[in-house]
Structure 1
Amino acid sequence: MATDIQLHKQQAQELSNKLWAIANDLRGTMDASKFKDYILGIIFYRFLSEKTEKYMEEILKNDGMTYADALASNNEELLAALDKYSLDSLGYIIRPEYSFGYIVNMIAGKYDGKVFSVDYLEKAIASIQQSTLGQKSEAAFDGIFDAMDLKDKDLGKEVSDRTKQIAKVINRVNDIEFSYDDAQFDVLGTAYMILIGLFASDSGKKGGEFFTPSAVSELCSKLATVGLKSVKSVCDPTCGSASMLLEVRKAVIANGGTAEHAVGHYYGQELNGTTYNLARMNMLMHDVPYQYFNLFNDNTLEKDNFGTTKFTVQVANPPYSAKWSAASSFLDDPRFSGAGKLAPSSKADFAFVEHMVYHMDDDGRVAVLLPHGVLFRGGSEDTIRRYLIKDLNVLDAVIGLPANLFHGTGIPVCCLVLRKYRNGNAGNICFIDASKYFTPGKNMNQLSSDDIDRIVNAYVERKDIDKFCHVATMEEIESNDYNLNIPRYVDTFEEEEEIDIKAVMAEIKDLESQRASLDAEIDKYLKELGILED
């Protein structure tokens, strides 16, 4: 199994490399971070199209006809039934003449009198969205292709230029072999997420807010799902491209849960409209039916679209030390009223934590990534920190991670694990310093499987490990005046090697002797050249 997974990861990396090459080859004067919208949009379109083809092939196999045959039959009753099946199951309709394969053949000139134009693709995309209007799936598909602006002059000033450019992208995407039938590993989805990461790096997004590396998402998901074989609901209030939401399902399956029942429902909210579209695409491409996720495009702190809904698991990588209004009216918001003070307007970190704590179910768990400042800063943050520890007693673990794990920022971050029920650990908090355990990379550091397991195992076992883990009592926390700075609890001091002064002095004398000899030899050559006088 391990060999298979390694092979699939290698295949996914090869796919992402090919897609990245397409971007660099075709984007011309358009910035790569913008051109990604066309590549990812075409990939998504191909996915929807081939999913429709496979679905129709399955439901029509006993009728001995293809989807195109069914449409050509003009059997209104059959067509109405097919439309209903497609909308109920897939959430959208793609007619055969708008399928990805049909468009590829049109570009190749296989249909007499039919010439491909970017306008035709625009109609095809519009037909998908129109099919969802008034349906239960409308929210899942509304505006999902908006970032792929086929009229953008940066793509080409004339229709012919844009047609030529988009045709190249379609042909390149068509040349890549995507494996949709691999039950063990989602090669397409993995390549898709790697590609998002590459674009995030290229566009210099700060604070990891656009894309959380898969290893960090895996760590948070494992910490938040310890012992769970099914999760009623999972939420990420700053969901980005939905990578952390999808990692939760993997973590639950790794715990022994089944893929079908791993997660009951997914919730998320994302401020950036383009990233919000990516999140919905990502969910659908990972076979999460539209009926099982609700994602919102809004500012989570300013507008809580989740209402009073409570979640079993929450994971998040909020934008670090983001600004927010901190308006006094928020003191009446049940999410923030408990502490009696609001997170400062210049640093919303604790506001995100309070939002998540409010939405914790009876046995809710949270894993959230934050800058280290939340562990020790004073003022209102000190008040909120004391409220979470002393009054609510929901802070279960504080984990320090290595620096330079995220695209666009080198700062080290911490992961806070919070639980509604502490399961016998109400009298302590687990501190882990994992800052020294990582694999150095060219542009950023990475967490290996061993690094992740080391952290998760220490969190589960809750035993002191020299220079790595310490389980601090509440009395200890109180004695430190509720300052959670990790070095206060985990001794990371390393004794320096004893210096042999005599050996060092002898080495210095030897070097000075060598230098004197070299100086004399250089003087000799300079005199011979007439540069230095006797």
Structure 2
Amino acid sequence: MPILSQQNLERHLWQAADILRGTVDAADYKQYIFGLLFYKRLCDVWDEEYEQLLAETGDREEAADPDEHRFHIPMEHRWEAVRRQSTQIGQRLNNALNAIEDANLRLRGVFGDVDFANQDRFSDALLEKMLAHFEKHRLRNADVPADMLGDAYLYLIKMFAEGAGKKGGEFYTPRQIVRLMVEIVEPRPGMSIYDPTCGSGGMLLEAVQYLKDRGEDARTLSLYGQEKNFATWGIAEINLFLHNVDDAFIAKGDTILSPKRYDPKMREFVEGIGAYDRVLANPPFSEKVWGYEVWQNGDPFGRDTYGCPPKGYGDLAFVQHMLANVKDDGMLAVVVPHGVLFRGGAEGRIREAMLAADVIEAVVGLAPNLFYGAGIPAAILVCRRAKSAERRGKVLIVNGDATFQSGKAQNFLTDDHVRMLAEAVHGFTNIKKLARVVSVEEIAANNHNLNISRYVQTGADAGAVDVAAEVAKLQDLMVKRNEAEAVMFGHLKRLGYVG
């Protein structure tokens, strides 16, 4: 079989998606492609390991021993066994994926709820075409090293995110933004890294890559995360396994209502708060249903240190969750919409309390149209529970609204942009038209408003920041209008004017 280049591998995998396009909903077919890719990789690597062991020992039974393999693939459910079938291929695939999950505790649930046996979607002819396409190339380690296949998987995630529009942002953050966040928090060997809304696992993997790029031992990192969407959790698990990261722990569930931490003694997740060296996240922007009904009576896990966010905006619930999970000498970076920086009401009071506690170290404004499905600009909030002496009572404001490269569908950051913004945060000094160190007293005098353009003006795309502010104000007014309508209809119902 021909040796694949990175580009050819990516093209080969994307062509598999083309086979399903039009037959399966665009929002769903990524799960099937990812599932088949992982299944093929597992089977090919098992064969590779078996042949190597057989050559070394000459003992077929020992070479097939499950303890000698990274993952156990039952003989009757290996790729070649499924390929011998010409009918009911979908059911055989379902049986194989279920059997692999049952045989490997670490893989439980990783294939999600894909159903290849649904013949309205998957005829035997279509599945035959799909399987034939996948076996054009072997996916053994010798043919496709883990980093190469992992990068191809990230390429697929990116392509699916681009096609999903707004929903793409639910499971994928553009890699350069992730890289910027990792560069800002500077993980070191031996540290614990946590992403409470981990999507497809990109931030955890970028922390691994950051250490590799520095020639440091990434295997010493402890990786943790949580993901609410079950299908996305499976994507993250496959992403980590394809990158040869076996010891990351990703919990399933709602981070705000049911936070999980991994208990190494019990070897399972339990409800509660952890303690991590670095926390990174891109939570859902302005989540409307986030857990207000619980938090308004006091968060059961004590994360509402600075107050309860408003009903229609969950952003600062995620930020406070992250602050509760970072060690005293730790650091966090989180993506937030601009409205978090200047909206009043409950968010204004939380912002005031956070500034008074001096936990906000930097605010990095990003250019507009960098995220999938969100054209307005966002910002990275950088926090520490304990700042260094020279940074106490100060916040670095970085305005990156002019720092981007225009693209066809959306803007993006180059490596130089990432380096410049990260160095600005590390330098913590004034840079003309880019960064300014602002005292907490000055921010308090501005009614605790952290709107970036108030402190640093670049002269570029100023209108985009104003648009963001106006959109946030409009959203705030809409929430208040809806609340007022609910009260009014309640009164009318009691008076008998409505049923």
TM range (shorter): 0.7 to 0.9
Q: Which digits, 9 at most, give the CA deviation of each residue in 1:406-439, with x for residues without a partner?
A: 2222111000111223223123111111111111
Give the match for residue 168 of structure 1: 129
Quickly say closer, same or farther: Cα 1:231–1:448, change in 2 above 3 A. Answer: farther
Mapping 1:120-139, distance limit 5 Å = 120-132=92-104, 138=105
Give the Cα–Cα distance (whole angstroms) in 2 for the partners of residues 234 and 430 of structure 1: 24
Give the match for residue 405 of structure 1: 370
Task: Quote how far apart the aligned CAs of 1:353 are.
Answer: 0.2
Q: Is residue 2:6 matched to residue 1:27? A: no
Quickly say closer, same or farther: Cα 1:41–1:455, change in 2 above 3 A. Answer: same
Mapping 1:62-461, distance limit 5 Å = 62-65=56-59, 69-70=60-61, 78=62, 82-86=65-69, 90=70, 92-101=71-80, 103-104=82-83, 106=84, 117-132=89-104, 138=105, 140-156=106-122, 161=123, 163-176=124-137, 178=139, 180-181=141-142, 186-206=147-167, 208-225=169-186, 228-261=187-220, 263=221, 265-289=222-246, 292-306=247-261, 307-323=272-288, 324-327=290-293, 331-339=298-306, 341-391=307-357, 393-424=358-389, 425-461=391-427
Task: Quote how far apart the aligned CAs of 1:472 are.
Answer: 1.3
Task: Quote how far apart the aligned CAs of 1:328 are.
Answer: 5.0
Give the Cα–Cα distance (whole angstroms) in 1 for the partners of residues 436 and 217 of structure 2: 34
Q: Which amino acid aligns with 1:129?
A: E
Q: Which digits, 9 at most, give the CA deviation of each residue in 1:338-384, with x for residues without a partner?
A: 22x30111000000000000000132111110100111111111111
Q: Is the 8 A contact 1:374 1:381 kept in 2?
A: yes
Give the Cα–Cα distance (whole angstroms) in 2 for the partners of residues 454 and 17 of structure 1: 33
Give the Cα–Cα distance (whole angstroms) in 1 for the partners of residues 144 and 16 of structure 2: 27
Q: Is residue 2:11 matched to residue 1:17? A: yes
Q: Is the 8 A contact 1:204 1:407 kept in 2?
A: yes
Quickly say closer, same or farther: Cα 1:183–1:453, change in 2 above 3 A. Answer: farther
What is the aligned-residue RMSD (CA, Å)? 2.7
Give the Cα–Cα distance (whole angstroms) in 1 for the partners of residues 416 and 450 of structure 2: 26
Give the Cα–Cα distance (whole angstroms) in 2 for the partners of residues 178 and 31 of structure 1: 27
Quickly say closer, same or farther: Cα 1:293–1:241, change in 2 above 3 A. Answer: same
Quickly say closer, same or farther: Cα 1:388–1:169, change in 2 above 3 A. Answer: same
Give the match for residue 38 of structure 1: 32
Task: Quote how far apart the aligned CAs of 1:98 are.
Answer: 3.0
Give the Cα–Cα distance (whole angstroms) in 2 for the partners of residues 168 and 417 of structure 1: 49
Quickly say closer, same or farther: Cα 1:124–1:63, change in 2 above 3 A. Answer: same
Give the Cα–Cα distance (whole angstroms) in 2 for the partners of residues 367 and 272 of structure 1: 22
Quickly say closer, same or farther: Cα 1:29–1:121, change in 2 above 3 A. Answer: closer
Give the Cα–Cα distance (whole angstroms) in 2 for the partners of residues 266 and 171 of structure 1: 36
Q: Is the 8 A contact 1:363 1:421 kept in 2?
A: yes
Give the Cα–Cα distance (whole angstroms) in 1 for the partners of residues 144 and 218 of structure 2: 10
Q: Is the 8 A contact 2:360 2:381 kept in 1?
A: yes
Q: Which digits, 9 at most, give the CA deviation of each residue in 1:308-329, with x for residues without a partner?
A: 3211111111110002231255
Give the Cα–Cα distance (whole angstroms) in 1 for the partners of residues 299 and 152 of structure 2: 45
Task: Quote how far apart the aligned CAs of 1:179 are.
Answer: 7.2
Q: Is the 8 A contact 1:334 1:358 kept in 2?
A: no
Under a length normalisation based on structure 1, what TM-score does the superposition of the two structures give? 0.77
Q: Is the 8 A contact 2:259 2:273 kept in 1?
A: no
Give the Cα–Cα distance (whole angstroms) in 1 for the partners of residues 224 and 82 of structure 2: 34
Give SS of 1:203's match. helix
Q: Is the 8 A contact 1:241 1:275 kept in 2?
A: yes
Give the Cα–Cα distance (whole angstroms) in 2 for the partners of residues 181 and 493 of structure 1: 52
Quickly say closer, same or farther: Cα 1:335–1:353, change in 2 above 3 A. Answer: farther
Give the Cα–Cα distance (whole angstroms) in 1 for the partners of residues 461 and 51 of structure 2: 68
Instruction: List alignment gaps of at least 5 residues for structure 2.
Output: 262-271, 463-499
Q: Which amino acid aligns with 1:410?
A: G
Task: Quote how far apart the aligned CAs of 1:178 are.
Answer: 4.8
Give the Cα–Cα distance (whole angstroms) in 2 for the partners of residues 23 and 190 of structure 1: 17
Q: Which amino acid aligns with 1:121?
A: L
Give SS of 2:249's match. strand
Q: Is the 8 A contact 1:210 1:240 kept in 2?
A: yes
Give the Cα–Cα distance (whole angstroms) in 1 for the partners of residues 120 and 334 of structure 2: 38
Q: Is the 8 A contact 2:44 2:139 kept in 1?
A: no
Give SS of 1:53's match. helix
Instruction: List alignment gaps of at least 5 residues for structure 1.
Output: 1-7, 71-77, 108-113, 133-137, 497-534
Give the Cα–Cα distance (whole angstroms) in 1 for the partners of residues 398 and 194 of structure 2: 25
Give the Cα–Cα distance (whole angstroms) in 1 for the partners of residues 328 and 49 of structure 2: 39
| Count of residue pairs brought into register by the alignment | 447
Q: Which amino acid aligns with 2:375?
A: G
Q: Is the 8 A contact 1:235 1:313 kept in 2?
A: yes
Task: Quote how far apart the aligned CAs of 1:100 are.
Answer: 2.8
Quickly say closer, same or farther: Cα 1:11–1:82, change in 2 above 3 A. Answer: same
Quickly say closer, same or farther: Cα 1:207–1:343, change in 2 above 3 A. Answer: farther
Q: Is the 8 A contact 1:301 1:351 kept in 2?
A: yes
Task: Quote how far apart the aligned CAs of 1:256 are.
Answer: 4.1
% of aligned pairs identical?
Answer: 33
